Amino acid sequence: MTDGLRLAVTVLTVLPVRAGTVDRRTAAVAMTSAPLVGALLGLCLGGMLAGLRLAGATDLLAAAVVVASAALLTRGMHLDGLADTFDGLGTYGDRERALAVAKAPDVGAFGVVAIGCALLVQAAALTSVSAVGVVAAFAAGRLAVPLACRRGIPAARPEGLGALVAATVPVWGLVAGATAVAVLAVAAVPGRPWQGPLAVLAALIAGELLVRHCVRRFGGITGDVIGAAVELSTSIALIVVATGERA
């Protein structure tokens, strides 16, 4: 359990936590724990957002700083996965060609557009999201990790992060995580207790659709696919929470 939690922090954040044993058993714990790491990340970012607003920063400036900080705190890993995944999905050719494009070190047009859209949407949504809403949205976004790594979803390659974590998370682990995040999200939008859980549901649906499409196109998941699912799910969760705040 301890090694799994350390692995989750090491993989999903920039914190220099030394990983212990790294195998599929610890990977299962790490991937199942991803929403917890997301909640802690959201707590830091939500506090930053609230602090900037109290200091007199405009909503747009505070949102931009939080988005930039989120990228730094995650080493830009999820954004990199988003770009690589969309480059692969956008290319012509068979599965091997799509995987080769996704693995290439350069970033193509699809990847640039995907990153730009994600950052723009997240910054716009954060201008009207509360600190609690940030916590809920970032936890909901990390539900994409156990969703993509649940049993029955294969790895696209025999090596790499995807091969280590694919099909490691039991369905009950995903259900437990989603339930916990949904309960947390009840407080995301004051006066609208259903809006937060709705954001969690929307994030799960978006993540599932992307993962299913990637399995069809690539033959399974990769580390990049997991990162792309995180960014997409986080963006959708923020949109739904922000819509509730404006209602």
Residue 110's Cα: distance from chain center in Å? 19
Strand partners, 60: none
Lowest average pLDDT, out of 6-15, 55-64, 135-144, 216-225, goes to 6-15
Cα–Cα distance between 16 and 186 in angstroms, integer?
32
Mean pLDDT of 143-172: 96
Per-residue pLDDT reduced to its tens digit, 69-125: 999 999 999 999 999 999 999 999 899 999 999 999 999 999 999 999 999 999 999
pLDDT at position 95:
94
pLDDT at position 247:
64
Please name which of 129, 143, 146 lies closest in space to residue 45, comparing C-alpha atoms.
129
**169 phi and psi, to 5 degrees?**
-90, 120
Length of the chain: 247
| Lookup: tokens for 99 | 């995987």
pLDDT at position 1:
81
Q: Residue 3: which pLDDT band, with cuts at 50, 70 and 90?
A: confident
Map out the domains of the chain as residue ranges: 35-246
pLDDT at position 77:
95
| Average confidence score pLDDT of the chain | 95
Mean pLDDT of 152-175: 95
**Buried b or exposed e, range 69-105, using 16+ CB within 10 angstroms:** ebbebbebbbbbbbbbbbbbbbbeeeeeebbebbeee
pTM of the prediction? 0.96
Q: Is the pLDDT of residue 58 over 80?
A: yes
